[in-house]
Structure 1
């Protein structure tokens, strides 16, 4: 069995690496190659192109690298049209991968997309391009399958791979630790961190015993963050989010996958997010869900506070955070624990079963 994979960013590399391991266990003789990151390569995927050729953040960086990204996508499609795999699997990165899938599908190659874009939340008209691009969507969340079924797109809920490694903590003892997670992208960090620092100062004034830490996803903005907190007693670390979350009374976190990680560990949180004025005006008109954060969407209710745009200011963040710190959060923690139960399905194994069944379909 020949399997082609395409992961164009860090999150895709992580999820695809688990998939490679599971595929190798189930089909030891399968050949797996494609656009890969370091984790995929280590897991046993043969690298034809490296993810770093396309993995960029920020509008200016994308625009600068766009010609080379388009050339790379053309090279990939040309390669697989000449060397047809049994299935092509695009992992995340919908803007990059759906176009590839569409070209290959038109030429008779079976296509799968792993990780649905947030089509359930905004830009639902993308369903037309998705149906043209992929034969099967492997969904990480149960509510996504309901959306695709309404549009006659084949989709399977496989659970979330993070639920295999993260679970609600037990026997936690309060230690006054508060964790700040301002996101992974430059635009997120630079819009949110100033408000998080204001909130930390206000919270510290109210309770001097509080201990603040910042956990960054990568070191790309480390220097800027370090300069920004000059004079404020806050620890800064990189790449240790899960340990830091587990050791905190409360996490103030940017909306996205990080909020899901906090939810899987069942730690009280305040979810924050800010876009530029123009981006927010556009996004708010396209949004069609009442829950913005993944924990609230999965549970179907506003179980954790969501502070978006102008509401994500230092005073507001501080007020909501202190309310949680001073409350009995037993019920909240119990509700957050349901996220793990809902998403733990042995995601990689279930994905492999779906892939093999699909490849063997006549």
Structure 2
């Protein structure tokens, strides 16, 4: 049995790793390969291509790397047209994966997509491409299935695999620890880190006892970050975000899957989101949602502060941060705990069942 999984970015790699692990536990002899990140490889996926080759952020940033991305996608289509798998599973990265899925599906290869794109938020017309690309959409959030049902696309709510690894922390005591999570992509880190350093300086003026740390998803840009924070007494580590989140009074985090990780552990946060000027001018005209962060979208209300574009500056971030770490945040924590209960659906087992069912149809 050959199962191909394609995850083109860090968030997809994390989710796909849970699927790889569950598939291997179900049948160790399954041959699992594809476009993989470090966590997928660790879980047992053979990497024919590494996700770092295509992991970019923002529309203008994609343009710079577009030739390389297109070459890789063409190579994948060609390879699997000749070396046909039993199923191709695209994980997240819809603009990359749907094209591969669509071409392989035309050849009679079964396809599945894990993690719905945010078509409920923007570019709803993508539903046509989705229907042509995938036999089944696996949805992490319940409100997504409702959208697909309206458009006659087969979809299944499986919950979120992170709930199997993360749960609300217990016996926590405030300790003046603030965690900074500037994202995983180069553009994110280089855009957000200067504002976060400014935030640190301003918050220390209010309270010199506050301790700051940065957790990076990988070490690809560690040296650059080290140089930028050298004189600011900020602890830096790699790959330990979950442990750092558990110990923090507050997390200042780039918008994306990391916000869900913080929510599942039940920690107050500030969500920041900033693109290049060109990317933002394009994206803001396409948005059709009140909230940019997953916690607020899931809960349907503004539970955690969101700062977008020009509001992502040291002064604004530090003002809100000081308000949060000097307040009783139990109401926020109680709301975040609801997210874990809602998404805890044994998603890995449901995903494996869905894969086997489609293969055997």
1:355 deviates by 1.6
Aligned partners of 1:9 and 1:51 also within 8 Å? no
Aligned partners of 1:179 and 1:250 also within 8 Å? yes
1:37 deviates by 3.8
What is the match of residue 228 of structure 1?
A: 228
Q: Say if 1:186 and 1:78 are closer, same or farther in 2 by CA, change over 3 A.
A: closer
Map Cα deviations across residues 301-353 of structure 1 (whole Å, 9 max, x no partner). 10011111122221111111111111111111111111111111111111011
What is the match of residue 360 of structure 1?
A: 360
What is the match of residue 335 of structure 1?
A: 335
Map Cα deviations across residues 180-233 of structure 1 (whole Å, 9 max, x no partner). 111112222222222222222221111122111111222232233222223322
Compute the RMSD of aligned alpha carbons: 2.1
Aligned partners of 1:9 and 1:54 also within 8 Å? no
Q: Say if 1:34 and 1:205 are closer, same or farther in 2 by CA, change over 3 A.
A: closer
What is the match of residue 88 of structure 1?
A: 88
Q: Secondary structure at the match of 2:6?
A: strand
Residues of 1 paired with 2:222 and 2:82: CA distance?
Answer: 44
1:75 deviates by 3.3
What is the match of residue 167 of structure 1?
A: 167
Structure 1 position 17 matched with structure 2 position 17? yes
Residues of 2 paired with 1:197 and 1:29: CA distance?
Answer: 48
Residues of 1 paired with 2:214 and 2:42: CA distance?
Answer: 29
TM-score in terms of structure 2 length: 0.92
Deviating more after overlay: 192-201 vs 316-325: 192-201
Q: Secondary structure at the match of 1:74?
A: helix
What is the match of residue 75 of structure 1?
A: 75
Residues of 2 paired with 1:217 and 1:298: CA distance?
Answer: 24
What is the match of residue 305 of structure 1?
A: 305
Q: Secondary structure at the match of 2:284?
A: helix
1:67 deviates by 4.2
What is the match of residue 54 of structure 1?
A: 53
1:266 deviates by 0.4
> How many equivalent residue pairs?
360
Q: What residue ranges of structure 1 are gaps of 5+ in the alignment? A: none
Aligned partners of 1:53 and 1:69 also within 8 Å? no
Map Cα deviations across residues 152-201 of structure 1 (whole Å, 9 max, x no partner). 11111111111110111000011111111111122222222222222222
Residues of 2 paired with 1:61 and 1:301: CA distance?
Answer: 31
What is the match of residue 212 of structure 1?
A: 212
What is the match of residue 281 of structure 2?
A: 281
Residues of 2 paired with 1:268 and 1:3: CA distance?
Answer: 39
1:5 deviates by 2.1
What is the match of residue 137 of structure 2?
A: 137
Q: Say if 1:30 and 1:189 are closer, same or farther in 2 by CA, change over 3 A.
A: closer
Q: Secondary structure at the match of 1:303?
A: coil
Q: Secondary structure at the match of 1:103?
A: helix
Q: Say if 1:2 and 1:184 are closer, same or farther in 2 by CA, change over 3 A.
A: closer
Residues of 2 paired with 1:311 and 1:128: CA distance?
Answer: 35
What is the match of residue 188 of structure 1?
A: 188
TM-score in terms of structure 1 length: 0.92
Q: Say if 1:65 and 1:309 are closer, same or farther in 2 by CA, change over 3 A.
A: closer
Q: Secondary structure at the match of 2:215?
A: strand
Aligned partners of 1:10 and 1:55 also within 8 Å? no
Deviating more after overlay: 33-42 vs 141-150: 33-42
1:151 deviates by 1.5
Aligned partners of 1:110 and 1:135 also within 8 Å? yes
Aligned partners of 2:7 and 2:91 also within 8 Å? yes
Residues of 2 paired with 1:2 and 1:184: CA distance?
Answer: 30
1:54 deviates by 3.1
Q: What residue ranges of structure 2 are gaps of 5+ in the alignment? A: none
1:68 deviates by 4.8
